[in-house]
Every structure is written in C-alpha cells, then in structure tokens.
Structure 1
C-alpha cells in the first residue's frame, strides 16, 4: 500500500523506438583480462580503463559485471569491413595497454579454469544492485559474449526482424561457440556459457507480437509488477533496443579473434537484408515450439547438432541448414560487401570447425589449460 499523502510511483515508460538506418551494425565484445603468470583471470579493468582513456578510439570501452572483464563496442558501422576496422583499433589499443600492465586480453565465452567465488563485482551501482538481487549468480556471470545490433527502419519492422531472426539462433550459437571449459572441466557443451545466462529469470525469448503497440502494453504490465525497470532487465536471446533503433542479438560467445566477430556480424547483416528485401516468411508463435530444443542442441553439440525445421518438423544436421542458409544469403552478402564473411563461415561449417573445437584441440595437445589460454591471447592479438 502507498503511505498516506504519497501518490503511487508510475511504472517507467518504454522509450520511443528511434528509427535507424536499416542494416547498419554495432558490435559489442566482452573480453577476458588474464595475468601472464598462470593465465587466470586478473582484476585489472580499472587500470585498463584508465589507460584506454588516453586513446582516441571509435565506439566505447566500459567495465562489465566483474573486474576481470572489459567490454569494447564499435560505433555505428555500415559494413563488415567497417566493423573490423573499428575492432582492430580497439583491439590494438587494448593489447598495448595490457602489455604495460603485464597482463593479456583473451576472447572465448568462458575462462577455462577460473573459480567464480574468487571474482570481484565491479564497483558500479547497477552491478552492486544485480549482485544483491542474484547472489552467487552474479559472479557466475563472469562469462563473455558478443552482441550484434542491426538497424531497423521502424518499431514494427524491428519486431518482425526479431522473430524472423529467432529461427537462426542455433546457427549463431554453433558458429560462435567458444566455451567448452568451465572450472577446469570439459563440459561436453560447445557453448556452456549460455547455461549461465539461462539461470536468470528474465532470460529466454521475447514474447511473440508483431505490433509495437502490443509490445508497449507488455512492457507496461511487466514494469507495473516491479520485476523489471527497463529493457536492460530482459536477458532475452534477442531484444529490441528502442533507444538505438535496433534489435540486439545476444547469444554469440565471444570469438577468439576479431575477424570471426566481424564475420558473425556480416552473417546478421546478410540475414537482415534477406528479410527486408525478400520478405521470405512470416514468423508465428508456432516457430517457438522447437526453439528451446534447437537452442539446446546447438549449445551441446555445436556444428554437429540436429536442427528441427519449425515449419515442416523435418530433422536435419544443423551444419547442412547453415550451409543452405549461407548459399541463400550469398547475393545479399555480395551486395553488402559481406561475401568474405559468409565464405569464412561456410568453410568452417563444411569442416565442422569452430572456436570450441580449436580450444579442445589445443588442450588435447598441451594438456594444460593455462597454455591454451596463453595461445588464445596470442590468437586475439592476430598472431597465429
């Protein structure tokens, strides 16, 4: 009840959807900071942020949930070459700063052997609030993802894009998977990172509606309960970002290289172009009948997963569906300058190779996860 004399607090309103240039891209990468002694996580985000502030860089560099993480973001980009150019500047500055601190920066969706209880929550009001709410889950959220934003012309188009894109969530997971190891153990998952995300109560999929007016009504009902206060409180696989005029795809593990990160952004852009120019299908609630199964298959088995077509119910190797999709996207990728990205991903799908497989191969050879992390840091620098 509201105390006498006080008016009830109004639920926060959803921000208006700002139209953006269709098919523009923005990429965020959450990265690991490790020491160069045993290659465990190192709480150096404050020092890195202070050194990075001296550089004139595109996009942004910000802290993340725990102090062994750092996030880099591009600005608004028009092509995969543009994305790669900005990520290269950010990566090179990160590496220079890390060298000064005698630490290293690494990609990958999880650190292979860090212990969650040793992590420190970064001293920022939102992170402290989340830590109080979620307890140990906050420290277990020391995981690392790539988020890709794609511009949409209007709010209804964004929802249509979101639900069309949802059919390809398994493709994104399998191609980006880079988190087979957790707490020193091979989890037998290609993407174990997403199991930590799924533990949060507001994770999963967005509600099905193709009307922004209906989505606003959903948001209003949800915020009235006090469960969420803003779109940031939804940990959905894909969510709209009205303040940017985008949808944000959040299921990618952070790749081991910025080249792969740019290629994955090229895949998203090519899919979005196909959707906008050909209107290939109208999504429906029934698409989600197999959604969780397909997502689990991709997390568990990567490119060896089974994919269930949501329309026909046909079972097929996910790798075959990825290759079929990439062939369909080729003309759009060519026009956008994303053909090299699609070609890189097609070659990896043909061979069944992703970053999870690379990590397992290195561990099979080295028998020491610290050495695998060291080699991963060299790979992030662009050194083979």
Structure 2
C-alpha cells in the first residue's frame, strides 16, 4: 500500500492556493495574562499514562469552571487554560478552580492528574494520537515525533497594546528564557531513565523543524513580510506552525512564552506567570534596554545550560558576555523586580521563587529526591499526583 502523502504538499498539476495572510494584531490590555497547562492523565494501578482524555472532557463539560479544557496531541494528555487575567493572583484562582474540577472528574474515573514536563517512564510508541484533524495532519507529517511529543508544558500569554510593542516585548523576554526554564524545570526522567537534564522536555520540542527562536525584527511590517515569505514556501500556513520559544499571537493581542515545563503544582504555575508579568511591567515602565540581534549569539548556549543544569547553570549576559551563575542573575532579577511585583500584587509569588532559587530547589530536584528515596518511578508519579492535588492532598 502506498504511504500517505504528507499534508500541505500540492500534487503535480494542481494550482497552488494563495498563501494565507497573517491575522491582524488585536490590541489587548497591556500585561494581562493567560495561562495554559498541559497535564498528564495516569491510571491508579501502575501510574502509567492512561488514554482518558475523551472521558475527562465529557465529565468536565457538565461542570462550571473558568477558561477552557481541550484535548492535546495524544489521548493521555489534557490542556486547561485560564481566561484573561489581570494578576498572578487571578491566575491562581482560576487554575485552582480548574484543578478542583479536574480532580472531581478524575476521581470518578479512578485516574489521577499529574504535573511535570515529562512522564518519567511512559513508552512513546504506546501513545495514541487524539482523533482530531490537526493532530492527524501533524502525525502524518512528523511521524514518530508526534508520539514523542507526549510532553507537557506551560504557556504564558502576555497582553500587548500594539504589534510593535509585542515584538519589542518578545525580544526583551528572550533574554530571560534560561530563567524561565530553570525555574519551571520538571522533566529529568524520560523512558525510565534519568537524562541528567533538568528539562529534557525541550529536547523533544527542538526536534521539530519550526522550533527555535523568532526572527529578529522590531516592526510588525517587517514581521508580516517574513510571514509572507514563509507561507509562499508552503511550509507554513499559520502562526501555529511555528514552535518558537516565544511567538506572537496576533488573534489574542499577546506574545506566548512556551519554554516552561508544566510545574507539579498550580501554585508554582501562577507564580511563574506573576514573574513574567513583573518582567513585562519593568520593560514597559522603565524601558531598561533595547534588544539587539547580537543578543542571540549566546541564546542557544544559555538555553542549553538551563535545560541541562537548571538553577546550577552558567548564564552569559548577552550585552557584556560576562559569565556568572544563573542563580545569581535570577536572584538579582527577582529582587530588582520587587517594586513592580508589589504594585501588581505579585510580591509573595516572587518571594517564593527567590527562596527556591536560594535553596537550589525546583521541581526537577523534587522528582530526583523522591526517586532517590523510593527507587520506583511509579511511586514518584503517585506522589506527584498527590502534590498536584494541593496542600490538602500532599501527604508525601
């Protein structure tokens, strides 16, 4: 039997369709937040991934909760998202409501919901592609990479007043990609092995051809020209086809930061969103630096260091080339943001993150400590499920 032709390739003799246009940028209230969390569904027998997304979606449809709940690439994943939030506190309130609804449904199905950027011991070839046209297209195009994309991330949207401001915000945020990775890292185990990475999840993302970083441009007109050139090749149809670390989302009037591993708790997820918002406030109110193309000379190195070593990484300051512990730069950043955080009601969230940085504590460390003690990854996942339930559910 002939193999299926990959999607989006025009057969010989067919007239090519006109390239799609980039959606207009819809201005949004500056610094508003939206958070998406990709979550693991596991059985309560051996704590492996379980294909229960359809059942969860049916049960969730009967309940009241903010935001949205949708399927993801494989059927052992589910994605929840907040509505438009004005603070990290509101993000936490909405994620808490979503968590409680998820747990009610999971308990009825005798399964568990878990955070973390990877499932520690699932086998990629056991996963099922969720039956949705876009996911089927991606599976046909990317083959086994689609099932290996059973990884779990947090995405944070930040509202921007206009498209040029969005690009400026995007490239300023790019200097802090290592900070985001180290704070959220929660994927040390893959296929039953300790990868020696704090965030192994991002290695799966990097396998896709449209991953990496956005092109350096500070004008929306120039970005539209880049998008037009990309769509003329037939490789790109929409912004969804770019798996960049940060990408514009013109239909929402935001930039979307995509490098966070899903944390083990919604509390940490909300704190990370608060950190992003405080950074954005600093950028808008103080205009602390103007990004340059040369910033990206150290981008890949800094990103790798944070994925590999987490809070113990080396950070190269883009403007000066100075090498320093990422932990030191993170602490200085968090302390410098204190006035903006206080104004946003995010002071406690950033203080929590700073305490963790001082102690070298992230979720990857927590997972490794549990595995060192238990010597059984299934028990680590069980304890992760208890941790996700919140303070009342944390018995381990």
What is the aligned partner in structure 1 of residue 54 from structure 2?
46
TM-score (norm 1): 0.99
Match among 341, 356, 366 for residue 348 of structure 1: 356
Point out where structure 2 has 5 or more consecutive residues left out of the alignment.
Answer: 1-9
Q: Cα RMSD (Å) of the superposition?
A: 1.1
What is the aligned partner in structure 1 of residue 293 from structure 2?
285
SS of residue in 2 equivalent to 1:110: coil
Deviation at 1:331, TM superposition (A): 0.3
Matches within 5 A, 1:327-342: 327-342=335-350
Distance (whole Å) between structure 2 residues aligned to residue 161 and residue 21 of structure 1: 14
**1:217 counterpart = 2:232:** no
What is the aligned partner in structure 1 of residue 33 from structure 2?
25
Match among 76, 96, 100 for residue 104 of structure 2: 96
CA deviations 1:130-178 (Å, max 9, x no partner) are 0000000000000000000000000000000000000000000000000
**1:114 counterpart = 2:125:** no
Match among 303, 313, 331 for residue 311 of structure 2: 303
Count of aligned pairs between the two proteins: 383
CA deviations 1:89-123 (Å, max 9, x no partner) are 10000001000000000000000000000000000
Distance (whole Å) between structure 1 residues aligned to residue 151 and residue 43 of structure 2: 17
CA deviations 1:242-274 (Å, max 9, x no partner) are 000000000000000000000000000000000
Deviation at 1:297, TM superposition (A): 0.1
Q: Provide closer, same or farther for how the CA distance between residues 131 and 324 of structure 1 changes in structure 2, counting only shifts above 3 A.
A: same
Deviation at 1:56, TM superposition (A): 1.6
Match among 364, 380, 384 for residue 388 of structure 2: 380
Point out where structure 1 has 5 or more consecutive residues left out of the alignment.
Answer: none
SS of residue in 2 equivalent to 1:83: helix
Distance (whole Å) between structure 1 residues aligned to residue 354 and residue 137 of structure 2: 42
What is the aligned partner in structure 2 of residue 142 from structure 1?
150
SS of residue in 1 equivalent to 2:369: helix
Matches within 5 A, 1:204-243: 204-243=212-251
Deviation at 1:3, TM superposition (A): 8.1
**1:371 counterpart = 2:379:** yes
CA deviations 1:175-205 (Å, max 9, x no partner) are 0000000000000000000000000000000
Structure 1 runs, 4 residues or longer, greater than 4 Å off: 1-4
Matches within 5 A, 1:50-65: 50-65=58-73
Deviation at 1:57, TM superposition (A): 1.3
What is the aligned partner in structure 1 of residue 332 from structure 2?
324
